[in-house]
Structure 1
Amino acid sequence: MGNTPDMPDSRPGDYPSNDRDAQRALDAWPGGPETVVDLDAIAHNVRILRDHAGDAAVMAVVKADGYNHGAVAVGKAALAAGAAELGVTSIDEAVALREAGITAPILSWLNDSSADYAAAIAADIEIGVSTVSQLRAVEAAVRSTGRAATVTLKVDTGLNRNGLSTVEYPQALAELRALVDEQAVRFRAIFSHLACGDEPEHPTNDLQRDRFLDAIAAAKEHGLEPELVHLANSPATLTRPDLAFDMVRPGIAVYGLSPVPELGDFGLRPAMTFQARVVQIKRVAAGEGISYGHTWIAPRDTTVALIPAGYADGVFRPLSGRFEVWLGGARRPNVGRVCMDQFVVDLGDNAADVREGDVAIMFGGGDGEPRAEEWAARLDTINYEVVCSPRGRSIRRYAGGAG
């Protein structure tokens, strides 16, 4: 993807809301960190996921502001590329998508009994119910608004996070049956979430499938016929077609990162590039130390470049001396400690290829560029956390025309 973005983000808060705000941020922090999100890559990834889904529909998960890529822009790009629905955690996230003009079905599945279910009903948000108390709170919102709610049951089949337990499930079905009979609730779906989807052959996947089938059968015994059922996350979408059911729910794969890196990239294209511009180049003599604590001493006369991004912006301090950037057509190693708002790279014998203002790519998806997976491996974490890390002064921009 190119390094020149063409559309600023509309996200409130720390991110610029329009061109003028974006320019002010750049003026205040010249050359500072930015994430460039390639919407054409998002569309490409959704098309790959559609192919793997077969006859099943695709729900693109855009929670946590689209895994830090921008929920509105990603959601629109995903829907344009053939996703049928969007998924988020909170009602607030769902309502924000509606306010941005998205009319496709949206499921919100992580709320407690005090959530604003009236707002969800007003915005035609599909409400994921994980406890009997939540179902009763939805009922109260129906009574207060005089409008029917669309409800989906989330059943816990073994992940043991949110979801109706086997103890509560019969009571939830009985109460839901009464609400459906009253036409106070539209019963749309049953879904669950895999604990070991990133290990395709793990026996827990089959155990959860069987429990999921039991939950569907129990609902039907109560006369509750779901319009659709869904279980598969990103890895299951790509590796377990037997778990596709009526719809798949990919998250990280939408953003071009492999959910099972050891099996390859599945043809996905990373959508995020995290970059900053060189603000200074200087010569350093042999024997001189770099950055706090002088953890790196120049073994020879060399040239270094200063990059204005640090741990306040999402460059993890534990990566100090353990990562590279793509700069001047080559990988350049970080030397010395990562600071709050800057780090240093060694240009070695190829300093002539780099000028002040050149773009240093910390991770991206282009040929030769470091990948988010590399950071994840060095940090003993997952690529999800890495793409969620750019923050603070980091400005988000968009490239591509899919949105």
Structure 2
Amino acid sequence: MSEAIVDLDAIAHNAELIAHRSGPAAVMAVVKADAFGHGMIEVARTVLAHGASWLGVATAQEALRLRAAGITAPVLSWLHGVGTDFRSPIRADVDLSVSSVAHVNAIAACAADLGRTASVHLKLDTGLSRGGAPERQWPALVRAARNLERHGLVRVRGVWSHLISADDPDSAHTSAQLARFDHAVAFAREAGLDPELRHVANSAAALNSPRSAYELVRPGIGLYGVEPVAGRRFGLRAALTLRGHILLVKDVPAGTGVSYGHDYATPRDGRLALVPLGYADGVPRLAGGRAQVRIGGRRRPIAGRIAMDQFVVDLGALAAQPGDDVVLLAPEQHGGPTVDEWAQWARTLPHEIFTGIGDRVPRRYLGGAAAHTSTEGNTVV
């Protein structure tokens, strides 16, 4: 049986560590993309019991899923079009990010329909050139938000931005961005806004840049055990193990071509094992020819191209049989292969490896605050 095993105690440890290092700032745990593939509801409950007081998601649908699970902690959702129907998240007390006058007007219109006040966080683009109001449009956004606040339609609860390269401890970007951010906040306050929360820090900044903590930090990848600063170890613990099984074993002679295109041929007589996981399950196709898995405590190479639903392992002379476990991904202390190794093999980053693990792979949970619960068919032990 293929499964992704999530150690909630490791996530609890990481949340506590980040909360301690970034204190007295509060922690907004980023649980978007199903908590980076780890399971949003289970992770949210765990981090809220271990140092986080906020949750961060990308979409209103993610925020509403948290509310449907009975989670009442403050939630910020930050990626919406101006045509979004904001009434459901406003009704569910979800805070909404605002990057333009059009955004805040659309949110205010929905709030007026409900007879409620929407909580918003104004986002400034301090240099990343993605979401957020450009500096030249910031005054207009602040004035519009302040006018709507006077009419009781919005409450500006926070001001925020996104860092360019907080994972680089020598980056000059961060200090320049913080200066722009401070100037923008000062302008907002002079215009009559009184945001209680300022936040810019991701995992790397929360662990490595006290200057950027303000009142709130937003760790993402660090919660899941990936050390976010090159050359630094803060004591984070990896939480996820991805495991499959051998479906078929066959003896083959030297020179046997394997998988599409026969990019790989067996170097000597030996055995091949078929594993029923593929790129539809999150085993990255680009890792073919470089990736390894662990069988019987020994690492063996993936042979040839990874297919949508399966891949082949060159066992060499290793004895194995159908049903034997295949460890694709595991914490370093358990022998790996680690998510960092997979990221190198696939020429990507750990975030993509985690979030690529598909729905066909069931999640099983160990320990943590959710030890008595089970959601969406997942197993909690």
Whether these two folds match at TM > 0.5 is: yes
Structure 2: unaligned runs, 5 residues or longer: 371-381
Q: 2:291 aligns with which of 278, 303, 323?
A: 323
Q: Which of the numbers 340, 345, 350 marks the counterpart of 2:313? A: 345
| Corresponding position of 1:10 | none
- CA-CA distance at 1:392 after TM superposition: 5.0
What are structure 1's unaligned runs of at least 5 residues? 1-30
Structure 1 stretches of 4+ with a deviation exceeding 4 A read none
Q: Does the CA-based 8 Å contact 2:242-2:328 persist in structure 1?
A: yes
CA contact under 8 A between 1:38 and 1:399: conserved in structure 2?
A: yes
Query: Structure 2-normalised TM-score?
Result: 0.93
The match for 1:124 among 87, 93, 98 is: 93
Q: Which residue of 2 aligns with 1:277?
A: 245
Query: In the TM superposition, what whole-angstrom CA distance separates every residue of 1:149-195 from its partner, at most 9, and x where no partner exists?
Result: 11111111111111122222112211222222233322211111101
Question: Who is 2:280 aligned against?
Answer: 312
Change (3 A) 1:264 1:305: farther
Which residue of the partner structure matches residue 268 of structure 2?
A: 300
Per the alignment, in what secondary structure is the counterpart of residue 273 of structure 2?
A: strand
Give the counterpart letter for 2:116 in structure 1: R
Aligned partners of 1:72, 1:290: CA distance in 2, in Å? 40
Distance 1:141 1:284 in 2: 66
1:137 aligned partner, one-letter code:
A
Compared with structure 1, are the counterparts of its residues 175 and 251 closer, same or farther at alpha carbon in structure 2 (3 Å cutoff)? Answer: same
Contact 1:154 1:164 in 2 (8 A): yes
Contact kept in structure 2, 1:94 and 1:108, CA below 8 Å? yes
Could you tell me which residue of structure 1 aligns to residue 379 of structure 2?
none
Report what 1:150 is aligned to.
119
1:163 partnered with 2:163: no
Provide the residue aligned with 2:363 in structure 1. Answer: 396
* Cα separation, 2, equivalents of 1:145 and 1:303: 66
1:265 CA displacement: 4.0
- Structure 1 match to 2:373: none
Residue 224, structure 1, aligned to residue 224, structure 2? no
1:45 aligned residue = 14
Report which stretch shifted further, 172-181 or 91-100: 172-181
Partner-residue secondary structure (3-state), 2:76 = strand
Give the number of aligned pairs: 369
Q: Give the conservation status (yes or no) of the 8 Å contact 1:325–1:331.
A: yes
- Equivalent pair of 1:331/1:369 in contact (CA under 8 Å): no
Q: Does 1:379 align with 2:346?
A: yes
Deviates more, 1:335-344 or 1:60-69: 335-344
- 1:357 maps to 2:326: no
Give the superposition deviation at 1:241: 1.3
Partner letter of residue 181 of structure 1? R
The equivalences for 1:184-333 within 5 A come to: 184-260=153-229, 262-333=230-301
Q: How far off its partner does 1:295 sit?
A: 2.5
Residues 126-135 or 301-310, more deviating: 301-310
Q: 2:159, 2:250 → 1: CA distance? A: 60
- In the TM superposition, what is the alpha-carbon distance from 1:258 to its structure 2 partner? 2.0
Give the structure-1-normalised TM-score.
0.88
One-letter identity of the residue aligned with 1:101? G
Within 2, Cα distance between the matches of 1:254 and 1:123? 26
Distance between the aligned counterparts of 2:66 and 2:177, measured in 1?
31
Q: Which amino acid aligns with 1:329?
A: G
Q: Please give the secondary structure, in 2, of the residue aligned with 1:263.
A: coil
Q: Do the aligned partners of 1:91 and 1:115 also contact (CA within 8 Å) in 2? A: no
Q: 2:267 aligns to what SS in structure 1?
A: coil
Aligned equivalents of 2:364, 2:55: Cα separation in 1 = 22
Greater shift in the superposed pair: 167-176 or 392-401: 392-401
Contact kept in structure 1, 2:286 and 2:347, CA below 8 Å: no
Distance 1:226 1:313 in 2: 43
User: What is the CA–CA distance in structure 2 between the aligned matches of 1:347 and 1:264, rounded to whole Å?
Assistant: 35
* Distance (Å, rounded) in 2 between the aligned partners of 1:54 and 1:66: 23
| Cα-to-partner distance string for 1:357-390 (whole Å, 9 max, x where unaligned) | 1221111214211011112112221111111111
> 3-state SS of the aligned residue for 2:46?
helix
Q: Quick check: 338-347 or 193-202, which moved more?
A: 338-347
Q: Which amino acid aligns with 1:144?
A: D
Larger displacement relative to structure 2 (230-239 or 290-299): 290-299
Q: 1:187-219 CA deviation, whole Å, 9 max, x = no partner?
A: 211111101112122111001000010011001
C-alpha distance in 2 between matches for 1:335 and 1:112 = 44
Deviations 1:325-376 (A, max 9, x none): 111011111122222221121222331xx33212211112142110111121
The one of 52, 77, 80 equivalent to 2:46 is 77
Name the amino acid aligned to 1:362: L
Give how far 1:36 is off. 1.9
